[in-house]
Chain A
């Protein structure tokens, strides 16, 4: 198992290197100049000399290869550089926001699992009954309704019914659990619903597949209670593809809550990403892409490890 993990971790390096290379040079091709945005906004009066000196200060006038080399050197030493917009270290910019984003993703994942696993299972076991139809309508609606739209409905509903909207600044959980939850539960619900729908459909189809397997028939022939057949024999196998979906969706939530973060005014990674792109803050965009790449690759690794735990064939294969 350890050798398998080590091999997978080693494979992460060329993947991340490829991401770094593509991100760096793609960003330089896209039109846009942070110096112009920074200095000209709202009618700022700047000369070409001033713009040139600011570009030089930010190191944008150096050859691309030199800039790339410096960035790679920084990555190796875990120095992500400085945001060209705020002048603060990129690690600080991300650090301020990552807690909120991870918490929302975790809450959404918990909501999704709590809804999806029982719902998908019941839907599969009562296939083509009214229970299945209700569950399928619920899940299809979850796939069809964008999270941000659901978020807007939630906020408008809260405003209309309770004349209240969620807090607009983040309070860490350990500072005030109530404030924290009252802000983050709504986006977690909005995102969790779609997440639950994806996972529930996967669980349903997996269980339907598994329930046709020979070992299920064998278990039943041996007189095992149906509940035990489902819980011990079917679920364990059916959850393997669901775990993949749960893991990938979780990774997606780390950087993919862009619009939902706007709707709920969450100071998260998704919003930071959009702002960085719109300002052409290359250093920050590069760091965020690398962060997301690491999250995706790591989630894949964790999912594969879990496969190994749940399925001995993978572990010993």
Chain B
């Protein structure tokens, strides 16, 4: 799947014209592999920026890119997404695999030549120990994605190169679980000695060996000569430098770094392109990251579906997309799954949902009618937001949209910790939230919207057993057509109730120095970060 991925050179003139081109031109279908030209060249150190410090080194215990973008080059996973061909899955430590006809067991054959950085061989015991740690973490160990492993009943290791996963029930998303970049393989021996070993140490079987982490400054890795893929990695090493987004733009423009893999705003992109000229390479894609408007359904008047639906109806998502995509990372209109993915609704299907119709006069009239019916014509409330872009932009946009139906809203912008604290305590009326995942699989995405007593990640406090039923049903439906129909039903139900609704999806804009080759652009910033295929041109 390479839709909505666009890789181009930007001349100075094109860069200056970018804001006028608008989002539609930026999302033309392109080819993801434009930068992989020519035979790879060995050598060099890749320097790139990461915007935050890692709270841990343990990929199992976190979801932040601050860890992924530093630690991924040191580890392998069971499967992985094929480079330049997302979401096709290929083996990583697994050489081959088979699924039973009833999908209740999966058997993996491992490569025989894989070694950890300490020289010990990687065997099925290491895979089992790692997955056991993920699905049943010992005391004191954090596993950040426990629900992904609920359907795994047992893991068997009939021989050192074979792993068998026995399932309790069919799990349609299990291949994404095996390919997850978070599910890194740790050494069983190290875990036996200290189950929390990966939290403060880095010792994997990935293309790069850990060198050092200087707090607040940089993280360095060097080529692991014993890496099991012949000829890989190409780089001598890498250096991930901690820096603020504003400093990144200057550093990339001044050639102090070569890349940043999360994403820039359109304005930042244009500035870098103007500075680097022919040496810049811009790649753009839709992003598995969406901005959400969440209502506190335990608080009046947001316990009333009419009020929630009215506020969603009043949002001109199509107009917002066109305008906000020029100034911020906010981009496409979409439902609960990424627009453009194989699971997403078509624009025609979307327009049937409340708040997605293109006739804003009719939408706003209906919104006013609903508020009147609910007895909240002169509604006022506070919108809790983060003091960070593009959250602030989204908040201002919402407030302006609601102003047009006579609703007055105060914009409260909070620090990240205060924002989380308000969520945890339920001390908010409405909230600008966001959600990201490493794959488009509906189970990974819809979990944000099921009842809060099943998924605490849903901070609206809603309980909806119909949504839960649809979620469970799609999770065990292997047929993609039937599953997609269930996803549509889920979305329709959710938009009717509007406990939490998407505002807009983000656009991913990666700008790098043209010397960086072989890296794969994807609609998520969590994959393709092991740098095994990356090389530097002369």
Judge whether B246 and A262 touch: CB under 8 Å: yes
Judge whether A47 and B275 touch: CB under 8 Å: no
Given A44-B63, A267-B242: A168 in contact with B256 (beta carbons within 8 A): yes
Given A32-B420, A86-B53, A280-B417: A45 in contact with B144 (beta carbons within 8 A): yes
Residues of A within 8 A of B63 (CB): 40-45
Given A45-B447, A85-B53, A85-B55: A169 in contact with B420 (beta carbons within 8 A): no
A2 CB, min distance to chain B CBs, angstroms: 40
Residue B179, interface by CB 8 Å: no
List which A190-228 residues lie within 8 A (CB) of chain B. none
CB<8 Å pairs between A and B, sample of 17: A31-B421, A32-B417, A32-B418, A33-B420, A34-B417, A38-B55, A41-B62, A42-B436, A45-B63, A45-B456, A46-B142, A51-B424, A87-B199, A97-B216, A168-B49, A168-B257, A262-B244
Write the chain A residue with the least CB distance to B215: A96
Judge whether B250 and A155 touch: CB under 8 Å: yes
Residues of B within 8 A of A32 (CB): 415, 417-418, 420-421
Residue B365, interface by CB 8 Å: no
Q: Is the interface of B mostly helix, strand, loop or mixed?
A: mixed
Residues of A within 8 A of B215 (CB): 86, 88, 92-93, 96-97, 267
List which A76-94 residues lie within 8 A (CB) of chain B. 85-88, 92-93
- Please list the residues of chain A having a beta carbon within 8 angstroms of any beta carbon in chain B: 30-34, 36-48, 50-51, 54, 57, 85-88, 92-93, 96-97, 155-156, 158-159, 163-170, 262-265, 267, 271-272, 275, 277-280
Contact residue among A46, A97, A264 (Cβ-Cβ distance under 8 Å from B144): A46
Q: Which of B53, B254, B424, B448 is most buried by chain A, counting CB atoms within 10 A of its CB?
A: B254
Residues of A within 8 A of B250 (CB): 155-156, 159, 165
A33 CB, min distance to chain B CBs, angstroms: 5
Judge whether B142 and A54 touch: CB under 8 Å: yes
Report the bound CA distance from A34 to B241 in whole Å.
23
Write the chain B residue with the least CB distance to A158: B254
Residues of A within 8 A of B243 (CB): 168, 265
Residue B33, interface by CB 8 Å: no
B16 CB, min distance to chain A CBs, angstroms: 16
Residue B200, interface by CB 8 Å: yes
Q: Which of B251, B256, B416, B417 is most buried by chain A, counting CB atoms within 10 A of its CB?
A: B417
Judge whether B64 and A44 touch: CB under 8 Å: yes
Contact residue among A37, A97, A262 (Cβ-Cβ distance under 8 Å from B247): A262
List the count of A-B residue pairs having beta carbons below 8 Å apart.
Answer: 151
Contact residue among A36, A43, A46, A163 (Cβ-Cβ distance under 8 Å from B417): A36
The 8 closest A-B pairs by CB, nearest first: A165-B254, A32-B417, A36-B420, A44-B63, A265-B247, A280-B417, A267-B216, A31-B421
B114 CB, min distance to chain A CBs, angstroms: 29
Residues of A within 8 A of B200 (CB): 87
Given A158-B254, A165-B251, A262-B247: 20 more A-B contacts, CB < 8 Å: A32-B415, A36-B423, A36-B424, A39-B61, A39-B142, A40-B457, A41-B416, A93-B215, A97-B215, A156-B250, A166-B254, A168-B251, A169-B239, A169-B241, A262-B244, A265-B243, A267-B217, A267-B242, A272-B216, A275-B216
Residues of B within 8 A of A88 (CB): 215
Contact residue among A97, A165, A265, A279 (Cβ-Cβ distance under 8 Å from B416): A279
Residues of A within 8 A of B251 (CB): 165, 168, 265
Q: Mark B137-152, 1 if CB is under 8 A from A, else 0.
A: 0001010111100000
Report the bound CA distance from A86 to B253 in whole Å.
30
Judge whether A50 and B244 touch: CB under 8 Å: no
Residues of A within 8 A of B418 (CB): 30-32
Judge whether A279 and B244 touch: CB under 8 Å: no
B137 CB, min distance to chain A CBs, angstroms: 9
Report the bound CA distance from A166 to B256 in whole Å.
8
Write the chain A residue with the least CB distance to B526: A42
Q: Which of B146, B256, B420 is most buried by chain A, counting CB atoms within 10 A of its CB?
A: B420
Judge whether A50 and B420 touch: CB under 8 Å: no
Residue B34, interface by CB 8 Å: no
Residues of B within 8 A of A30 (CB): 418
Judge whether A37 and B420 touch: CB under 8 Å: yes
Write the chain A residue with the least CB distance to B288: A43
List which B211-234 residues lie within 8 A (CB) of chain A. 214-218
Report the bound CA distance from A228 to B90 in whole Å.
84
B250 CB, min distance to chain A CBs, angstroms: 5
Judge whether B146 and A43 touch: CB under 8 Å: no
